[in-house]
Chains A and B, each alone.
Chain A
């Protein structure tokens, strides 16, 4: 009885007892979820256009942030460094397309997946060789990102909103909107959706696959840079950030590998779900359950929709 009470009643009593903490938890979950969604977005873009499950997205986040901070450390002004980093990400996308994707065209998915592991290793080595492995402080204030917190008195307590988190949420939504418009309204966006539907058909109507690939990898690189800045500002820029990127995977299976809105909704569900779970139910299991809770949430959804919330329905024929 006691255990049932602890599972089903007590957490809600706590939520009612301290509503300010509930709001705070929801907010933390939302921000975490938005950042997961950003990483997942990078995955989705690439998966949609080239069918590659890009494991290197995590290291691209680190690499982008490191390049930005590293350049700044060498005396490059912040905004110039930002521009240069974007250029580097473009170079990276171009190189990957040339050296990895093009030679591997038409190979099984798992081979491409493996190739992204190779990229991960290469980028880890390169990043450490060039910038060193020591953690760096994100140049948040130099980039004009706000610092500090807003404290709102409410519900008999206070809720503290970090300005950087608010900025993260805003930037993430702008990014998603821009990407959505880009894919819906521009010529390149339409070409990209054509490629996602069928490579062969797209090729036959004269769409250049190479060009599309460079563009999506570049877009994923920019998303990675934004993620790196945000997450770097929350803690610091180090290779440990790569681990965080794994958190995008449950978001992906929840939202579907091919759906941009899926990545966003999935991110928020996972972010809020894991924070609520950890905060209210975690102590029952000795806390620290966040590492697998996200997967469990995703799996429960998967049992009902095997292709994710927004994934395309797979019709199998013989």
Chain B
């Protein structure tokens, strides 16, 4: 009996493994794989982004028949925010000649950075990943527009400076930094410490270990003791709503609590509801459904049931973040078609497309996304990030409201740090390939 059951189970498993020798599909089109995560502890943040990315590209297919008349072949690969699965996904999509890979996880990006140059596949890590990869001379295949974490931090300080009446007023004050205890949260610390030196304030660090994301009362008790004038947060996933709730619990003034753009989802502030009123985060994409392109997404994709999104969640912040990500991809592909003169572009063409990426205010308007993002003007051969502006948004108890104009980063402070970090990376990873790819003139 037992053996029969087992034989059955095993034969099923073996029959399944025969599938591994899968064949690549030879459909005509531009292959855009999306590495997404809709499962696991970070699914809350991953789902809206995945939906936004998917739906914008779908909409281009439905409305315009793709880009330049060529259909986009979109394929999602589920990573669960797990670096091992991410690499597996990459290997899986690599065989199908993707024009760009979109890892959506800093951990996965780090693993792909050395591989990109060898496999000739550009990597888009939109405002996450390795900040140093903004240096195009060392990382010709990696792009991380519109801004790095260091840019984000400098923008926060511009905002704080504006509220305090000058950054020199910070002298003698304390600024608290609560962060996800990992590479992502630790990255801004060097710049934060430099700012502390420059402006004479004291920094207090409150790390939140991955296992304690939903158990932060000790950190916030420390905050209560240290009484910082401002709190800055680098959080992700379940860490955000918990931090916002804890901040409200200790009566920390919410309008002095600033999160990075990854801490600004609706689901981050909503659980605290009215208590979170005043909570600030940076953002670089517009929120809401008032943009014609978002309306097109609703019309061509969501209404037709081709999306997995909950209809009421279209236009939320992280959904629109996904849309922003796809706009970058689509524009880079369009650019690549223009430069190369080909319809079906390759990864190499798209790399050139990214290096000459320009989205002026007029172009944003043309896309049906007026003022959706700051104009992308300064991505170039040497600068793969561009250091573009972001704005501050505030939670009014029920939704996000834009409360500042576009804030430009302190490029002069950030760029030298980036160059140094890139140099450091290259020296530690000797022999690192020299850039051989020629530069295109910006169009």
Contact = CB atoms under 8 A, between A and B. Distances in A.
Interface of A: 18, 21, 24-25, 28, 32, 128, 132-135, 137-138, 149, 160, 162, 231, 234-236, 238-244, 246-247, 274-275, 278-279, 282-283, 286-288, 290-291
Contacts of B251: 160
Contacts of A282: 218, 222
Instruction: Report, nearest first, the 3 A-B pairs whose CB atoms are least far apart.
Output: A133-B43, A240-B238, A240-B41
B282 to A, nearest CB: 21
Contact of B218 (A133, A234, A238, A279): A279
B225 A21 contact: yes
Given A235-B242, A240-B238, A287-B222, A133 B39 contact: yes
A222 to B, nearest CB: 22
Given A135-B241, A286-B205, A240 B214 contact: yes
A239 B212 contact: no
A244 B42 CA distance: 15
A133 B249 contact: no
Given A21-B225, A149-B249, A236-B241, A290 B44 contact: no
Contacts of B237: 238, 240
A81 B205 CA distance: 42
Contacts of A286: 205, 207
Contacts of B225: 18, 21, 279
B213 interface: yes
A149 B275 CA distance: 12
Contact of A288 (B181, B249, B250): B181
B69 to A, nearest CB: 36
Central interface residue in B205, B211, B215, B271, by most chain A CB within 10 Å: B215
Central interface residue in A128, A135, A286, by most chain B CB within 10 Å: A135
A287 B207 contact: yes
Given A243-B211, A291-B212, 17 more contacts: A32-B217, A133-B38, A135-B44, A135-B238, A160-B250, A231-B214, A240-B237, A243-B210, A243-B213, A274-B218, A275-B218, A279-B218, A286-B207, A287-B207, A290-B215, A290-B218, A291-B210
B40 A28 contact: no
Given A239-B41, A290-B212, A133 B221 contact: no
Contacts of A234: 214, 242, 245
Nearest to B222: A279
Q: Is the interface of B mostly helix, strand, loop or mixed?
A: helix
Contacts of B39: 128, 133, 239
B334 interface: no
Nearest to B224: A21
Contact of B41 (A18, A149, A243, A283): A243
Contacts of A244: 214-215
A133 B40 contact: yes
Given A133-B47, A135-B241, A160 B249 contact: yes
Given A291-B209, A291-B212, A283 B241 contact: no
A288 B40 contact: no
B249 A32 contact: no
Nearest to B218: A278
A257 B71 CA distance: 60
A229 to B, nearest CB: 14
Contacts of B221: 21, 24-25, 28, 275, 279
B291 interface: no
Contacts of B193: none
B238 A235 contact: yes
B44 A238 contact: yes
B330 interface: no
A52 to B, nearest CB: 22
A30 to B, nearest CB: 11
B43 A128 contact: yes
B382 interface: no
A204 B80 CA distance: 49
A45 to B, nearest CB: 23
B214 A241 contact: yes
B344 to A, nearest CB: 35
Contacts of A138: 271
B296 interface: no
A238 B207 contact: no
Contacts of B213: 240, 243
Nearest to A162: B249
A18 B43 CA distance: 40
